[in-house]
Structure 1
């Protein structure tokens, strides 16, 4: 850390990177007061803020030396807030926020920026990979349908369901970003925040509370930087070995339907690792489509004999996965038990509080109550793990309303963003306490700071069943790359998408192209969507079955390579899906590339994400690349290759230690014996 004072200001730098550059004419800190309103409708938030006051803090006094500096900011002679800068034992720069005037509840801090730098991260961002030129409100919520206010689908979703969303809406925000200048910034807060990257010479971070601190560090390379971030947040454990043995098929409808579809898939040559039956605990039909009965225990009416069939499937090498979320259905057994024990969030007067989830209501299990946490872990261990489930979708986490009352006495507005981390912790600890971390997989869409050490794998959420760059197939590539930079290196998506509304219906081509992409991700899993009858499914026709069989054979052929990348993620924080600049830092174009990625160190994947396309134009960073289908060699730069269905644009490095494995990908795809 280096602190330099001038007559009118100061410069705070770390490892020769300027962090704060303050002067009387260009202050770096603003404080104020505001009143926020949160209107939640089924996980979608209409948030407004009335700023009563915003004060530029120009006057300051300095206390301390070069090892630890206190910067006291005054306004009209009165102390407003103090920044305390010091190096942590790990060598990061930490700037604490202290002595804030009691009335203040808004902070804006400006960090030094360079004109040409690119910005990435802020959780899982779906529309943009490089965030420069935009601001990003950071609040976990439903991401919305369409996510583009200029699109007709988003307009329909807004008008009909108040659910259209915008480019910044995400299940997983995080107040952390990474710069192309090889530094990261993390703001420690769970309050609503807004990171603004629209200015050429500064980044402005806004927070609707006094943050705890800001962390900054930089490294000489991107691999070193992601390892630094891994050391801060932790990272996901390795996935169970069985996940790499094929696709996890999303199936609904009961025991007989599940067994029939599994038989059909295996007969077609599909490598099947598991059956994911989200309706294992029963269904509810609403105007949205097929929903689930949120009382987390086996429904023997819909799934007769599952208690024995689940073990028979496992002997055949097929795992059974289910579903759970942090809420309990009103007036059902788990709700009644939780309510009687005081484990649910309440109204301010202690009375009943339920949340509208779309034509049914649920109680909120209060994860600030340690007894409620232990109870819910017990539900998972008894009703799911002991029953025989080998995995599940741990859904939601982003719905905590801001007007409920919690056991720890904190505002639900402040707890809201932290709720996904608490939910991930419940699942992780239940599995860990059962001694099943190496056997059981759970996956989440919601997230926030700290989820990395608890969530086994992210999934990209509820994409539309279309090709839209904001909310369709292409968006999951940005989601994987942005979240991967922050310690979430295992990521996947619903093959074919999920949201089937407003005239959208999944067709064969979309399903096939999505399956091609999924074969080059850490995990393959299908989903029927919210209206299965409207969507093309993996078993709709023979052509689709054969195509999925080819893709699963590629996926399983790559098992040793994928497992090595997953292990590297667990040990170092290096994500499995990586931006091109991760290994080509000197190549300026690599920082601009969207919709392609490095899969591990040695594979480059450029999914076909445009309807009807049979060629793919893509960028190859400077290296020796071999096209897996033709065997042709490329030196790097912009190229265009044939990419018919079944042969996505994938290349491998000629100098890889796995060239023999890669050279046999085409043979593996064709081997259906």
Structure 2
């Protein structure tokens, strides 16, 4: 949200009060995190006692909830409106900072990170990583803004206007501005489908169901990562508005409604270090089951299907040697108008228990689609309404609308009894034989409602996705075990990475949409999410055979892979015979890579590093990697450059060193751009210098004994020796010592 009109003036209807000086600075042991620094910042420079009268101040508190992390709290009125922060499971008891006053400066040190506040005017708060200043808050950075009803700000609508879930515009805001250095780039802020580098953009943290071809996001995360060795989380699950070098071009501005703004600064110095500290504080993903890495095949959305259709798909895939791990039933496994009542439509699935047993006999897992709404026609609607399990309007009536399903209500997950009731239906499905759930929706969350626990609706709009997915994930953990629980979720906010997997939402069936889908996944990866997927071939419309084949190659070189669409089946033979061959090539390749991919997944659970990694994450010191969003690293060893052209021509960048094509064995010197032309059965897939890839012996399934028949593919260009760990799905592990110096070109 932009408050200023150029450098000197405010927009009409805006009044601003800025922290002008650090009037007094004192050390305290009474912050939320123990030891800290408190600063009184008057909104004018105090030259005499009279200046302290009728003068608002901003109170800024510095503390540290975990090593290498500093919390900054800016309050106009401490008792005023604040949405409250995110859960911080990694916070240290008693805090992790050392506070002191040194030459009248307030200093807070925690690990490699230091915050330093200078006394007097002008306002100057700086952050240092390993002694190097990385950013800071300067003159007119901390501000309290008041808006009149007709203030000329925020001319657009944030969120789904037609659905009535657009963000409100309150009358008071607090903002902070942090310096942007020369050449500094900003990443993250959730699953954003525009450019990977966020400089120059206005970004609103407000979940919406807008598709992948818009500025809206299903997964809005108020966390950004800088290439200068730090990250920042705005600790507010409500509406956060960012201006990233777009209003004040030398700064990143973030603002929240109300009286209080709280944010955390995370130390690097490397981007991986930032993500490790961020996910340590907000939570890391669990280990996801090995079977979930295999191909997921869907009925698609509005297609006609019954058990015979499903069985024919499975049998035809097997006959063509196309391994499938999970079969997914989309919405119409339930009767229309009844979603979501958790009952199989008896007209098409008269024997669900028998059908699920037969699918399990084919060595398949089963996923079913659900959402947090209940249509009025379902008997469950009246049951939930009578027990107070649905979100209500302020007058006490049940909130309902006709979008998606006629007269649907919204389950109130702030009510423990409602959550238990919802989970009870999921347990019944698990008892029938369902293995996992696709948790769709969770973004169109209304505002003019009351919640059971009294939550602020603006706080709940983004946070609802967390409660919804947590309710489902907890059931899977309880019923199937810690290592066998997995979702296929669309909506999320900060902390959602603890409930994988997430997928990219409704893309169109074009090469352009394939590219924007990749940008969304890379942006989400830099927001702390390790596991991610998308609809191979696109969701809306039907891809032509070329798009389907290119997308298949891309989709099977990621953490999770799913064939899914809207109005058409996505089994490969409906496109052409070559699509079958391409699917076979890349499913078999992924099965061979499972010892490597599964180990990278274990690394994600222990460090927070994503499986699909933007180039800047692996090569932060290579300036050419900073903007790359048409290629990625799969783990630390493999570079993937999907083909986004009909001709098969692809342009990509190899960092310095000796790279080897995993598919052909051809060796190439990096440190330059390359242009290649690929058929549908190929794409640029390069092992980095000195890479060691554990290579599995099976191509028929993802969950096998990786040590049985294992080989190590060792690539030239490395030095010294390294240890390579291979862990099987059963937990057996073996470490191999590899002498890289013995490998020649």
TM-score range, shorter chain: 0.7 to 0.9
Aligned partner of 2:379 among 323, 326, 333: 333
Taking the aligned partners of 1:185 and 1:498, their CA distance within structure 2 comes to 33
Question: Which residue matches 1:354?
Answer: 400
5+ residue gaps, structure 1, are 1-25, 33-48, 148-166, 285-290, 666-673
In the alignment, is residue 270 of structure 1 matched against residue 322 of structure 2? yes
Q: For the Cα contact (< 8 Å) 1:246–1:556, is it kept in 2?
A: no
The SS at the match of 1:81 is: strand
> Which of 7, 17, 20 in structure 2 is aligned with 1:58?
20
Equivalent of 1:532, from 550, 568, 583? 568
Say which of 122, 134, 137 aligns to 2:189. Answer: 122
Q: Distance in 1 between matches of 2:314 and 2:435?
A: 17
Structure 2 residue aligned with 1:254, among 306, 329, 349?
Answer: 306
Deviates more, 1:474-483 or 1:242-251: 242-251
Structure-2 change in CA distance of 1:406 and 1:88 (3 Å): closer
Matching of residue 574 in structure 1 with residue 609 in structure 2: yes
Match for residue 620 of structure 2 among 578, 585, 606: 585
Determine whether 1:201 maps to 2:250.
yes
Deviates more, 1:54-63 or 1:562-571: 54-63
Q: 1:596 — aligned with what?
A: 631
* 2:297–2:563 contact (8 Å) kept in structure 1: yes
Separation in 2 of the partners of 1:197 and 1:373? Answer: 38
- Cα distance in 2 for residues equivalent to 1:106 and 1:538: 56
Q: 1:234 aligns with which of 277, 283, 293?
A: 283
Q: Which of 210, 228, 253 is 1:143 aligned to? A: 210
User: Residues 573, 211 of structure 1: CA spacing in aligned structure 2 closer, same or farther, 3 A cutoff?
Assistant: farther
2:557 aligns to what? 520
Q: Work out whether residues 513 and 608 of structure 1, in 8 Å CA contact, stay in contact via their aligned partners in 2.
A: yes
Equivalent in 42, 48, 53 of residue 74 of structure 1? 42
**Matches of 2:12 and 2:344 in 1, distance apart?**
48
SS in 2 for 1:547: helix
Q: Establish whether residue 100 from structure 1 lines up as the match of residue 77 from structure 2.
A: yes
| CA offset digits 1:180-215 (Å, max 9, x no partner) | 011000111122111111244211111123445210
CA contact (8 A) 1:394 1:442 kept: yes
CA distance in 1 between partners of 2:405 and 2:289 (Å): 37
Q: Distance in 2 between matches of 1:362 and 1:594?
A: 39
Provide the rounded CA distance (Å) in 2 between the counterparts of 1:245 and 1:138: 32
Hey, what does 1:216 align to over in structure 2? 265
Q: In the alignment, what sits opposite 1:188?
A: 235
Equivalent residue for 2:461? 416
Report Cα offsets for 1:346-395 as digits up to 9, x if no partner.
1111012113324623101111112111111112112x211111112101
Q: Quote how far apart the aligned CAs of 1:618 are.
A: 0.5
How far apart in 2 are the matches of 1:87 and 1:440?
33
Cα distance in 1, alignment partners of residues 503 and 535 from structure 2? 8
CA contact 1:614–1:643 (8 Å) conserved in 2: yes
What is the aligned-residue RMSD (CA, Å)?
Answer: 2.6
2:502 maps to which residue?
458
Q: Secondary structure at the match of 1:509?
A: helix
What secondary structure sits across from 2:56 in the alignment? Answer: strand
Inter-partner Cα distance in structure 1 for 2:297 and 2:437: 11
Contact map agreement 2:231 2:266 (CA 8 A) in 1: yes
CA contact (8 A) 1:92 1:215 kept: yes
Output the CA distance in 1 between the equivalents of 2:296 and 2:377. Answer: 37
Partners of 1:126 and 1:476 within 8 A in 2: yes
Residue number among 533, 542, 555 corresponding to 1:492 in the alignment: 533
The partner residue of 1:397 within 433, 442, 467 is: 442
CA deviations on 1:594-621 (whole Å, 9 max, x unpaired) are 11000011110000012x1222111011
Q: Taking structure 2 as the reference length, what is the TM-score of the superposition?
A: 0.74
Cα distance in 1 between the residues matched to 2:595 and 2:651: 29
Q: Which runs of structure 2 are paired with 1:633-648 in the superposition (5 Å)? A: 633-636=667-670, 637-648=672-683
Q: Deviations over 1:229-276 (max 9, x none)?
A: 120121222221212344434455111110011111111111111211
Given that residues 43 and 58 in structure 2 are in contact (C-alpha distance below 8 angstroms), is that contact kept between their aligned partners in structure 1? Answer: no
Q: How has the CA–CA distance of structure 1 residues 378 and 80 changed in structure 2, closer, same or farther, with 3 Å as cutoff?
A: farther
- 1:115 deviates by 2.2
1:178 aligns with 2:225: yes
Counterpart contact for 1:355–1:361, Cα < 8 Å: yes
SS in structure 2 opposite 1:622? coil
Q: Check 1:346–1:237 CA distance in 2 against 1; reply closer, same or farther (3 A cut).
A: same
> 8 Å contact 2:359–2:365 — kept in the other structure?
yes
Provide TM-score, normalisation by structure 1.
0.82
Aligned residue for 2:484, secondary structure, equals: coil
Partners of 1:120 and 1:555 in 2: how far apart? 29
Q: Which of 558, 575, 587 is the equivalent residue of 2:593? A: 558
Q: What is the DSSP-based 3-state SS (H/G/I as helix, E as strand, rest coil) of the residue aligned with 2:511?
A: coil
- Residue 737 of structure 2: aligned partner: none
- For residues 658 and 620 of structure 1, the distance between their equivalents in structure 2, rounded to whole angstroms, comes to 18
Structure 2 stretches lacking a partner, 5+ long = 1-6, 29-34, 45-53, 82-145, 147-171, 696-710, 716-745
Cα distance in 2 for residues equivalent to 1:539 and 1:389: 28
Say if 1:507 and 1:536, in contact at 8 Å, map to a contact too. no
Within 5 Å, give how 1:624-639 maps onto structure 2. Answer: 624-636=658-670, 637-639=672-674
User: Is contact 1:186–1:214 with CA below 8 Å preserved after alignment?
Assistant: yes
* Structure 1 residues 440-479: aligned runs within 5 Å: 440-453=485-498, 455-468=499-512, 472-479=513-520
> What are the Cα deviations for residues 17-74 of structure 1, in whole angstroms up to 9, with x where unaligned?
xxxxxxxxx99xx9x9xxxxxxxxxxxxxxxx99654333435522304963222233
Over 3 Å counting, the alpha-carbon distance change for 1:436 and 1:333 in structure 2 is: farther
- The answer to whether structure 1 residue 619 and structure 2 residue 653 are counterparts is yes
Q: Could you tell me which residue of structure 2 aligns to residue 670 of structure 1?
A: none
What aligned pairs does 1:362-441 form with structure 2 within 5 A after superposition? 362-382=408-428, 384-441=429-486
Larger gyration radius, structure 1 or structure 2: 2
Q: Distance in 2 between matches of 1:100 and 1:493?
A: 44
Instruction: Name the CA shift for 1:664/1:59 in 2 (closer, same or farther; >3 Å).
Output: closer
